[in-house]
Structure 1
């Protein structure tokens, strides 16, 4: 958690996929303060996207993030996708969905609420 699904009509180059994973992870961590190990990114290709979109990013993030944080995340993702895929920002879209932390299990333990990550990590084995 969070889980970001990047959907495209056509397959992406491996280098573009890695660049998107790095950009999304960096943005999520710097904006929310969450550890990088929480961020999961998957790719879905051959997807019929709305309108003239080239890429759509769907993020399932823990509930409790402010509208300001969600806006910053969406903007960072659009900027990164536009740069990496060399396409106009208007052809990139982002949707973020709030998911209660209590609905997610990571490494066999229920995820912490935003801001409680360090205490949660300290309690995890290994």
Structure 2
């Protein structure tokens, strides 16, 4: 399950969060093939970010399986563009950092998550 932490200096209305959440979820799922219910987004208001940045996004994302360095580079670039568009910001005002971790390092509902690409088998009863 990717966990996207979106930090910003000022408090924003929850309604402003929805387009950003939708952009993150759609981009993540399109590029990785992960199901949308795996994507979690947390907003951190009043968080210090660099002077030239409005939104700082740090995400823990499962690596391995069908994911390589090229996929992570495409994901990072596409997320930055999608988030900037959703928030109506310049690309340079959004920073995105992805932290890759092994699927075996995270559990959902007490069950270890599957390797990327194995989600369908994992969700079978």
- The answer to whether TM tops 0.5 is yes
Return 5+ residue gaps in structure 1 as ranges. Answer: none
Q: CA deviation at 1:101?
A: 0.8
Q: Match for residue 109 of structure 2?
A: 107
| Structure 2 counterparts to residues 1-126 of structure 1, below 5 A | 1-64=1-64, 65-123=67-125
User: Counterpart of 1:28 in 2: which secondary structure?
Assistant: helix
In 2, Cα distance between equivalents of 1:60 and 1:8: 18
Return 5+ residue gaps in structure 2 as ranges. Answer: none
Q: CA RMSD in A?
A: 1.2
In 2, Cα distance between equivalents of 1:84 and 1:35: 21
Q: CA deviation at 1:85?
A: 2.1
CA offsets 1:83-114 (integer angstroms, 9 cap, x no match): 22222101110000011111101122100000
In 1, Cα distance between equivalents of 2:20 and 2:120: 26
**112-121 or 49-58, which moves further after superposition?**
49-58
User: 4+ residue runs of structure 1 moved beyond 6 angstroms?
Assistant: none
Residue pair 1:3, 1:39 contacting (<8 A) in 2 also? yes
In 1, Cα distance between equivalents of 2:63 and 2:79: 19
User: Counterpart of 1:97 in 2: which secondary structure?
Assistant: strand
In 1, Cα distance between equivalents of 2:12 and 2:85: 14
Task: Give the aligned length.
Answer: 123
